[in-house]
């Protein structure tokens, strides 16, 4: 089977599934567990892969993204709106 088609099928399944109620908490716990296991690993290569995977899972949980293959919705920045209002008041827009 073609790996690219397999990845696309997995992405389509991931986007179509409903999100689980404690998914981000579960992913964060799994990421922390992988990092803890990597600290006790005797092989450096294995430890590096475990730590990188755990860090990626922690990042995914902190972003609040419910899908593995989709970026979260951008959040509006109130500070930018204030700067934009100041620029418009000065006629710089």
38, 51 Cβ separation under 8 angstroms: yes
Q: Where are the domains of the chain?
A: 3-89
Neighbours of 34 (CB within 10 A): 19
Distance CA(81)–CA(87), nearest Å, equals 10
Q: What is the model's pTM?
A: 0.59
Distance CA(83)–CA(58), nearest Å, equals 32
Please write the tens of the pLDDT for every residue from 13-68: 877 877 778 888 898 999 999 999 999 999 999 999 999 999 998 988 887 766 65
CA atoms within a 13 Å half-sphere pointing along the CA-CB vector of 74: 3
């Amino acid at each position: 089977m073609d790996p690219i088609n397999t990845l696309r099928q997995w992405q389509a399944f991931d986007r179509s599934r409903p999100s689980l109620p404690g998914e981000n908490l579960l992913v964060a716990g799994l990421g922390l567990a992988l990092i803890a296991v990597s600290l006790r690993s005797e092989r450096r290569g294995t430890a590096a892969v475990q730590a990188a995977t755990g860090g990626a899972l922690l990042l995914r949980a902190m972003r609040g993204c419910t899908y593995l293959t989709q970026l979260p919705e951008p959040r509006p920045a109130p500070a930018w709106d204030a700067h934009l209002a100041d620029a418009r008041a000065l006629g710089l827009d």
